[in-house]
Amino acid sequence: MVSVPTRDWILSRKSSTIPGENPADGLYACFEKLAKIGASVVVIPCNTAHASPIYDVLREKATRSHPDVQLLNMILETCGTVSSMFPNGARIGLLATKGTHAVGVYRHYFEQYPNLELLEPDASGQERVHQAIYDTTYGIKAVFPVSQKALAVLLREGKHLVERGADAIILGCTELPLALHEGVLPCPLVDPTTILARAALGAIALDKLR
């Protein structure tokens, strides 16, 4: 077992030089275990873990210790997929946790795709989405099946993004696809976890990818 500090660390922006404080330390310990048992491709199905203060530290350690092990980047894979969906440009909405918004996980990677414009909820909208994920009484992480209250919040915030011109919406938290499925909003929904899974399969067995 490996203990990984909460991703809420990213909101307080503690020094990444303090051992055990940065989630990158725990993630690297997991990476090291996987590499030692023969993994050739490693993925992290968590959006917030790709924040630069976390992911850059992990990538540097991983590349230095195991240059032969491929560490796939879920956010880059997602941005590349969305860019391919809209080669002539698009406005892309984002539903995510406060941590993902606060450190600009997607804003950072969108800078590499000038054909894409990122739309994010305002501060109150971000808070509502965060609670729909984390609230202990109705949030997706606490209640299964997904509560009607959480679903209503997510649909409302998604519709707000569409009203602002979103051509597609990225479900920027691993739990969101449990609540939002294709067809519930009047635009395509992009699931980074599915994109990451396909990228991993393509990296190890391209002939199996459909």
DSSP structure string for 24-68: HHHHHHHHHHHHHTT-SEE----SGGGSHHHHHHHHHHHHHH-TT
State the Cα–Cα distance between residues 92 and 154, nearest whole angstrom.
16
Reduced to 3 states (helix: H, G, I; strand: E, B; else coil), residue 71 is strand
Residue 8 has pLDDT above 80, yes or no: no
Q: Which residues contact 38 (CB under 8 A, 6 or more apart)?
A: none
- Look at residue 210 in the predicted model and tell me its pLDDT: 64
- Look at residue 22 in the predicted model and tell me its pLDDT: 87
Report residue 27 as tokens. Answer: 């993630």
Q: Which residue among the candidates 30, 46, 79, 187 is catalytic per the annotation? A: 46
Mean pLDDT along residues 144-166? 98
Domains of the chain, with CATH numbers?
Answer: 9-71 (no CATH), 87-190 (3.40.50.1860)
Q: Which of 167, 76, 185, 69 is nearest to 119 (CA)?
A: 167
Residue 19 has pLDDT above 80, yes or no: no
Helix (H) or strand (E) holding 83: helix 74-85
Q: How sure is the predictor about 205, in pLDDT bands with cuts at 50, 70 and 90?
A: confident
Residue corresponding to tokens 């195991």: 66
Residue corresponding to tokens 């990122």: 118
**pLDDT above 90 covers what percent of the chain?**
86
Residue 105 has pLDDT above 90, yes or no: yes
Residue 208 has pLDDT above 70, yes or no: no
- Dihedral Cα 52, 55, 58, 64, nearest 10 deg: -80
- Look at residue 206 in the predicted model and tell me its pLDDT: 66
pLDDT tens by residue, 121-154: 999 999 999 999 999 999 999 999 999 999 999 9
Q: What is the mean pLDDT of the chain?
A: 92
Phi then psi dihedrals of residue 42, to 5 deg: -125, 135
Mean pLDDT along residues 35-64? 96
46 included as an active-site residue: yes
User: What's the pTM?
Assistant: 0.90
79 included as an active-site residue: no
